[in-house]
């Protein structure tokens, strides 16, 4: 066995107990050596170098002392000249000898000794092996010329009155000033701009030239005119300014030669200085200079960090940011790594922006550039991603690094970050406000399929407007649409509000209805004082508290409103007529909205154990008085609230056949088991009990589980929703979840087809002929183009092709640039589109931020650009709740007790309600829903010449004849033009003037022939397109049944009315936007019985298909 103790080395002497008692006697045997570092800095030369050169503060003091000595020597020279009596005679000895008093000589000798000693010492310390390099330096030579004669005069008294050109010390003072500025920058760790340094050098050079010329001429003219210093100054200024009066001129040849030499020096030195100054000025114009520290401490500013600054992005930011009155005094500092664009430079030169916007070329990853932007003093920092790059993930990575750099440099600066990909959100979770582009984009596209024009609704809500757009237009719909577009979301504390203070202690629905009835404001949500979560329409059981923060939709905020009291009698009369006015409309239904479908029920009630609910008015009473609407209760009565248990679809099962019930058993409600990315909000939705095999997800290929190869073979009962995208990214999660939300009945779940490529064959296989909606997502590969606005070219042309092939298909398109929306469903000869184009230009000239809003595709919600939501991030600087409210509206976030956005459709049986205020009351009293707007579609059921607008004279001639026919029957038929909004008065007059030209009968004959030929051409074009599609379908083995090639929507227009006035009349086919209370918030604790937990829907006219 090995002896382990023999292998263990003994302890060092310092650790032995014996040595601790007897003393460390064995320390001398230790072989360790103590090492001292940086011994080279302990030498005398290194210590002097550390004090005079290396140390920043001591070096600065030495430079300052040297600068003061040089100025003192120049001052002593001026004093010597002023004290000297001008000598008589023109002898050359006056040039070499001067009168110098003994005290003055002593001061000059002292200054010379100190200066020479310092110069020699600094030369010794900076010596690097070449002695001639130190000796031949111009500062050293000047120092020898000015100091050595004084030192020699100490030992040789006869030389005390020898002339020494001490005025040349001004150049040494200039040299010391430059070194002093460099040391100053090192000492305070703050870099002044190169422009400041160059200007200082130029000024000092000019002063040295003038001072040298003054002293030289004054001394050389001692044998001439004997000029004093003032006359010499006058002569130099006149000469260098090229004025040359000639009243003072040098007489001696020496002084003339000196003037020539100084002019030559000036012609060489000054242009070089001016050239450097001009170069620095141009570079500063490119880089933007610095933001003043004094301004940063006295004024407020925000910083905008972007990868590349485009004119559209800049104007959107400036228009939205400065639209708020409280931000008028803010400065905007733009930090961008690229050089300023020509268009951007032109805009920033406008006086309105040049005084408030500062452009800095620099990177957010450099602390120096962040210091130039005074990021630590900024009120906020906006970091925007570059969406025009092909690799959007790389763009997100750059944004993340910028956010990290700003957070590291200025931890207290609020961050407003825009990110593109949802999977990158968790990297910037620390930011105060984050907008993920793909999340909002897909959520809006999904809701557009459920609630039409949701994208337009959200866009109008997040844009700042006064509602003055379209007010100069002759079209009534444009006036209403433009006025309602000025509605925005505002907030106020309930106890401080005139709108809502009287509703303290009352239910939310009561406060919302009566505030709209009295003030025209729409209360949509609240937030408790001790809670950060915003609740949209918490329902009638929510009781308003004095400290609640109310969120409402209105044209302007309450603080900017004035209130006028009306006569109480007038109020009572209006109230009576509002509720009990006569009506000649038949009434036999109430509205019971479920999810996004409006179902007309003849006998609908929700039976519960607590008591009966709102029932229909009796049939006998409709001939005596109009049916009344139940009042909105101040405090909710559980017996009067129609709630349905959405967790169990028993209400659907009872009205379904047995085979449909068995097919629905495979669905369940719950949270998705997997999240595609970190940070996604869990949403309660419809799920399958079993996971579908991946092979079954291919619609166009059969597998071992099914043999279907096209959408028609699957036999879907509901229409399809087709999504045309480039890749199946994580953002699609936010498209699918709203369409599978728990509050949507199972019978309304539309199949979703993802189309990664869209040739005609694939479109036909995926069921485009019977699809409800087709969503075209902007492709990332087309976002980078040589011309920015051409990024949408491929998408626009493809959608136009779809529009021509499948005119009845509802296509929802996303574009990169909002300006390209005018090309959607483009018609070159549509005079109404031309009129809208002129209206857009006029609105843009008036300074509107929503000039594109009157484009028919945007107003109808068929096209939108995600860049329009950039204003959401900008607006959150003033309204920090806007991102949260928008996410709740789009279903991106789900908060217990918060409502959701849905819609219902007005049918003929619902027109008895008549006005928006009565509809508001009906919804609040029955289901607790809060309406926020109307989506209105106006259609024309006239002749082809009226329903299809073109610039052909033949169509307008038919219109003219029909107009004459209507004028002869005014008593029986109304010809009000407001009933037909697509007819344009000016275009009609223009067409009629053209129709009057030429012989009457000959013109009519030619017009009929032309009309027939045009109709023939149209029919042939449509038939050609239809034959193309049908032949392709037959070739693929698809059925052509259901393909409608003649259905055209050219005669309809749609628009949104956000928070319309209470007296707005509702019309047929209006879609009402609702914020519905959370059904899960009203579920009873105990399990109800089968019959009492559902709303029984009985009646022969019950509609089960989707109305939207």
Look at residue 131 in the predicted model and tell me its pLDDT: 77
Q: What is the pLDDT of residue 997?
A: 45
Q: Which of 402-406, 614-618, 827-831 has the highest mean pLDDT?
A: 402-406
**For residue 456, pLDDT beyond 90:** yes
Q: What is the pLDDT of residues 572-587, one digit of tens each?
A: 444 333 333 333 333 3
Where is average pLDDT lowest: 4-8, 44-48, 104-108, 1062-1066? 4-8
Count Cα atoms within 13 angstroms, Cβ side, for 737: 27
Please say if the pLDDT value at position 946 is more than 50. Answer: no
Report, as an integer, the average pLDDT of 17-44. Answer: 61
pLDDT average, residue stretch 442-451: 91
Rounded CA-CA distance 921/926 in Å is 8
Higher pLDDT, 633 or 333: 333
Position 1051 pLDDT exceeds 50: yes
Residue with tokens 């509605």: 487
**Portion of the chain with pLDDT greater than 70, in percent:** 74
- Say whether pLDDT at 28 is over 60: no
Three-class SS state of 817: coil
Does the structure show a pLDDT above 90 at 319? no
Mean pLDDT of the chain: 75
Which carries the bigger pLDDT value, residue 1003 or residue 621? 1003
Contact assessment for residue 376 and residue 411, using Cβ atoms and an 8 Å cutoff = no
Q: How many CA atoms lie within 13 A of 62 on its CB side?
A: 22
Strand partners, 523: 552
Instruction: With a cut of 80, say whether residue 544 has pLDDT above it.
Output: yes
**CA-based nearest residue to 826, from 790, 853, 802:** 802
- Is the confidence at residue 618, as pLDDT, over 50? no
Q: Higher confidence at residue 617 or residue 11?
A: 11
| Beta bridge mates, 1052 | 939
pLDDT of residue 879: 92
Q: pLDDT class for 60, splitting at 50, 70, 90?
A: confident
Which position has the higher pLDDT, 901 or 386? 901
Asked if the model's pLDDT at residue 1029 lies above 80, the reply is no
Q: Which range, of 140-149, 413-422, 659-668, averages the lowest pLDDT?
A: 659-668
∠ Cα 451 456 461 (to 5°): 105
pLDDT in tens, 990-1000: 444 444 444 44
- Residue, of 223 and 167, whose pLDDT is higher: 167
Question: Residue 578 has what pLDDT?
Answer: 36
Whole-number Å distance between alpha carbons of 766 and 770: 9
User: DSSP string of 629-658?
Assistant: -PPPPSS--GGG-----TTSTHHHHHTS-H
For the residues 710-728, what does the mean pLDDT come to? 82
pLDDT at 975: 36
Identify the pLDDT of residue 370: 92
CB-CB contact of 510 with 503 (8 Å): yes
Lowest mean pLDDT: which of 26-30, 206-210, 646-650? Answer: 646-650
Please tell me the distance from the alpha carbon of residue 503 to that of residue 379, in angstroms, as a whole number: 36
What is the pLDDT, as a whole number, of residue 998? 44
- Which of these, 1107, 1082, 66, lies nearest to 541 by C-alpha position? 1082
The yes-or-no verdict on residue 958 having pLDDT over 70 is no
pLDDT band at 1021 (very low <50, low <70, confident <90, very high): low
CA distances from 780 to 82, 189, 866 (A): 80, 45, 13
Identify the band that residue 967 occupies on the pLDDT scale cut at 50, 70 and 90.
very low
Q: Give the range among 71-85, 468-482, 593-607, 952-966 with minimum mean pLDDT.
A: 593-607
Comparing 241 with 516, the larger pLDDT belongs to 516
The helix (run of H) or strand (run of E) holding residue 592 is strand 590-594
Instruction: Please name the residue that has the structure tokens 């559209």.
Output: 312
CB-CB contact of 346 with 372 (8 Å)? no
pLDDT tops 80 at residue 827: no
Contacts of 457 (CB under 8 A, 6+ apart): 451, 861, 933, 1056, 1058, 1073
Q: What confidence score (pLDDT) does residue 545 get?
A: 93
Sheet with 535-536: strands ordered across: 488-493, 549-554, 522-527, 535-536
Strands of 276-401 (E only): list them.
301-305, 331-336, 357-361, 380-383
Q: Closest by alpha carbon to 775, among 710, 717, 720?
A: 720
Maximum mean pLDDT: which of 331-335, 599-603, 704-708, 754-758: 331-335
Task: Return the pLDDT at 1.
Answer: 45
Residue 470 and residue 480: Cα distance in Å, rounded? Answer: 8
C-alpha 765/C-alpha 714 separation (Å) is: 11
8 A C-beta contact, residue 102 and residue 157: no
pLDDT in tens, 339-367: 888 888 888 888 888 889 999 988 999 99
* pLDDT above 80 for 741: yes
Residue 816 vs residues 212, 449, 623, 875, 1038: alpha-carbon distances, Å: 65, 20, 56, 21, 35
Nearest in space to 1104 (alpha carbons), one of 592, 665, 748, 750: 748
| Mean per-residue pLDDT, 870-877 | 90
Q: What is the band of 186 on the pLDDT scale with cuts at 50, 70, 90?
A: low
Residue 792 pLDDT > 90 = no
Summarize the confidence of residues 472-483 as an average pLDDT. Answer: 87
Q: Does 741 or 131 have the greater pLDDT score? A: 741
Residue 492: strand pairing partners: 550
What's residue 447's pLDDT? 92
Model confidence pLDDT, tens digit, residues 654-667:
444 444 444 444 67
Rounded average pLDDT over 946-955 = 36
Range in 90-104, 389-403, 911-925, 930-944 with the lowest mean pLDDT: 930-944
Q: Which of 257-266, 410-419, 683-692, 945-954 has the lowest mean pLDDT?
A: 945-954
CB count in 10 Å sphere of residue 30: 11
Residues with Cβ within 8 Å of 23's Cβ and at least 6 positions away in sequence, in order, are none
Asked if 593 and 1079 count as a contact pair (C-beta separation under 8 A), the reply is no
3-state secondary structure 860-917: CCCEEEHHHHHHHHHHCCCCCCHHHHHHHHHCCCCCCCCCEEEEEECCHHHHHHCEHH
Query: Per-residue pLDDT averaged across 686-697, rounded?
Result: 81
Q: Which tens digit of pLDDT belongs to each residue from 291-318? A: 777 787 888 999 999 998 888 888 889 9
């Amino acid at each position: 066995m090995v002896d382990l103790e023999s292998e263990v080395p003994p302890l060092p002497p310092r650790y032995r107990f014996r040595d601790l008692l007897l003393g460390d006697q064995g320390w001398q045997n230790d072989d360790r050596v103590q090492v001292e570092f940086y011994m080279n800095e302990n030498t005398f030369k290194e210590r002097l170098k550390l004090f005079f050169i290396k140390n920043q503060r001591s070096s600065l003091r030495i430079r300052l002392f040297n600068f003061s000595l040089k100025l003192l020597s120049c001052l002593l020279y001026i004093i010597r000249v002023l004290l000297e009596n001008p000598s008589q005679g023109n002898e050359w000895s006056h040039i070499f000898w001067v009168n110098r008093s003994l005290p003055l000589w002593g001061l000059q000798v002292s200054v010379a000794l100190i200066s020479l000693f310092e110069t020699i010492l600094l030369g010794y310390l900076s010596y690097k092996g070449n002695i001639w390099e130190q000796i031949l330096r111009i500062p050293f030579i000047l120092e020898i010329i000015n100091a050595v004669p004084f030192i020699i005069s100490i030992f040789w008294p006869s030389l005390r009155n020898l002339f020494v050109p001490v005025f040349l010390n001004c150049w040494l003072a200039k040299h010391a000033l430059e070194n002093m500025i460099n040391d100053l920058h090192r000492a305070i760790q703050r870099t002044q701009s190169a422009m400041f340094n160059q200007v200082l050098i130029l000024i000092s050079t000019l002063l040295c030239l003038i001072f040298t010329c003054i002293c030289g001429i004054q001394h050389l003219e001692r044998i001439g005119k004997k000029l004093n210093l003032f006359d010499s100054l006058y002569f130099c200024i006149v000469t260098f300014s090229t004025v040359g009066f000639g009243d003072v001129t040098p007489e001696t040849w020496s002084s003339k030669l000196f003037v020539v030499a100084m002019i030559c020096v000036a012609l060489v030195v000054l242009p070089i200085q001016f050239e450097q100054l001009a170069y620095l000025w141009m570079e500063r114009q490119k880089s933007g200079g610095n933001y003043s520290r004094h301004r940063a401490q006295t004024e407020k500013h925000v910083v905008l960090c972007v990868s590349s600054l485009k004119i559209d992005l800049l104007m959107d930011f400036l228009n939205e940011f400065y639209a708020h009155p409280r931000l008028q005094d803010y400065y905007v500092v733009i930090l961008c790594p690229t050089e300023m664009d020509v268009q951007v430079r032109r805009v920033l030169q406008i006086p309105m922006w040049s005084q408030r916007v500062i452009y800095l070329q620099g990177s957010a990853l450099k602390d120096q550039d962040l210091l130039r932007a005074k990021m630590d003093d900024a009120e906020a920092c906006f970091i925007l991603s570059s969406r025009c790059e092909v690799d959007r993930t790389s763009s997100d990575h750059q944004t993340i690094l910028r956010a990290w750099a700003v957070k590291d440099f200025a931890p207290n600066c609020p961050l407003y970050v825009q990110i593109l990909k949802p999977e990158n959100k968790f990297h910037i979770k620390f930011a105060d406000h984050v907008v993920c582009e793909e999340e909002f984009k897909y959520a809006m596209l999904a809701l557009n399929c459920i609630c039409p024009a949701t994208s337009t609704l959200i866009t109008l809500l997040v844009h700042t407007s006064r509602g003055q757009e379209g007010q100069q237009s002759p079209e009534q719909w444009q006036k209403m649409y433009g006025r309602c577009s000025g509605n925005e979301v505002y907030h106020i504390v309930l106890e401080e509000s005139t709108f809502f203070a009287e509703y303290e202690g009352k239910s939310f629905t009561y406060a919302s209805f009566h505030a709209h009835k009295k003030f025209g404001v729409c209360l949509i949500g609240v937030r408790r004082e001790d809670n950060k979560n915003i609740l949209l329409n918490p329902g009638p059981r929510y009781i308003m508290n004095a400290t609640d923060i109310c969120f409402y939709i209105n044209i302007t905020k309450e603080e900017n409103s004035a209130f006028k009291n009306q006569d109480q009698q007038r109020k009572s009369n209006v109230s009576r007529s509002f509720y009990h006015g006569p009506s000649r409309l038949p009434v036999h239904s109430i509205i019971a909205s479920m999810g996004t479908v409006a179902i007309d029920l003849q006998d609908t009630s929700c039976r519960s154990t607590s008591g009966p609910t709102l029932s229909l008015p009796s049939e006998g009473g409709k001939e005596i008085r109009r049916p009344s609407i139940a009042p909105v209760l101040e405090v909710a009565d559980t017996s009067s609230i129609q709630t349905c248990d959405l967790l169990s679809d028993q209400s659907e099962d009872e009205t379904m056949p047995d085979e449909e019930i068995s097919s629905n058993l495979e669905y369940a409600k719950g949270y998705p088991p997997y999240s595609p990315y970190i940070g996604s909000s869990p949403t309660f939705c419809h799920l399958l009990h079993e996971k579908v095999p991946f092979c079954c997800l291919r619609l166009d290929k059969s597998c071992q589980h099914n043999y279907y190869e096209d959408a028609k073979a699957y036999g879907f009962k509901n229409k399809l929703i087709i999504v045309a995208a480039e890749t199946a990214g994580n953002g699609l999660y936010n498209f699918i979840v709203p369409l599978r939300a728990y509050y949507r009945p199972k019978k309304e779940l539309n199949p979703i087809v993802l189309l990664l490529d869209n040739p005609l064959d694939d479109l036909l296989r995926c069921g485009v002929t019977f699809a409800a909606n087709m969503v075209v997502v902007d492709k990332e590969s087309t976002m980078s183009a040589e011309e920015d606005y051409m990024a949408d070219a491929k998408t626009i042309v493809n959608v136009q092709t779809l529009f021509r092939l499948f005119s009845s298909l509802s296509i929802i398109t996303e574009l990169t640039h909002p300006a390209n929306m005018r090309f959607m469903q483009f018609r070159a000869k549509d005079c109404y589109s031309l009129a809208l184009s002129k209206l857009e230009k006029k609105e843009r000239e008036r300074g509107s931020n929503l000039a594109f809003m009157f484009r028919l595709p945007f107003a109808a919600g068929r096209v939108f650009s995600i860049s329009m939501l950039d204003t959401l991030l900008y607006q959150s600087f003033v309204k920090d709740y806007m991102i949260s409210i928008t996410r709740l509206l789009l279903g991106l976030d789900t908060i217990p007790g918060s409502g959701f956005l849905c819609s219902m459709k007005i049918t003929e049986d619902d027109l008895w309600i008549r006005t928006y205020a009565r509809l508001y009351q009906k919804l609040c009293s029955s289901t607790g829903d809060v309406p926020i707007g109307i989506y209105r579609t106006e259609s024309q059921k006239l002749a082809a010449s009226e329903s299809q607008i073109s610039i052909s004279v033949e169509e307008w001639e038919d219109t003219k004849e029909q107009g004459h026919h209507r004028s002869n029957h005014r008593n029986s038929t109304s010809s009000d033009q407001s009933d037909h909004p697509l007819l344009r008065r000016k275009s009609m007059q223009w067409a009629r003037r053209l129709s009057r030209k030429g012989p009457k009968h000959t013109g009519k004959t030619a017009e009929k022939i032309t009309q027939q030929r045009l109709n023939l051409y149209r029919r042939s074009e449509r038939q050609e397109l239809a034959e193309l599609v049908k032949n392709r379908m037959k070739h693929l083995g698809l059925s052509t049944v259901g393909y409608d090639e003649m259905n055209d929507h050219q005669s309809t227009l749609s628009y949104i009315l956000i928070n319309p006035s209470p007296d707005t009349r509702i019309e047929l086919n209006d879609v009402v936007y609702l914020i519905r209370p959370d059904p899960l918030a009203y579920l009873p604790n105990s399990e109800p019985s089968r019959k009492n937990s559902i709303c029984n829907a009985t009646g022969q006219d019950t509609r089960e298909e989707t109305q939207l």
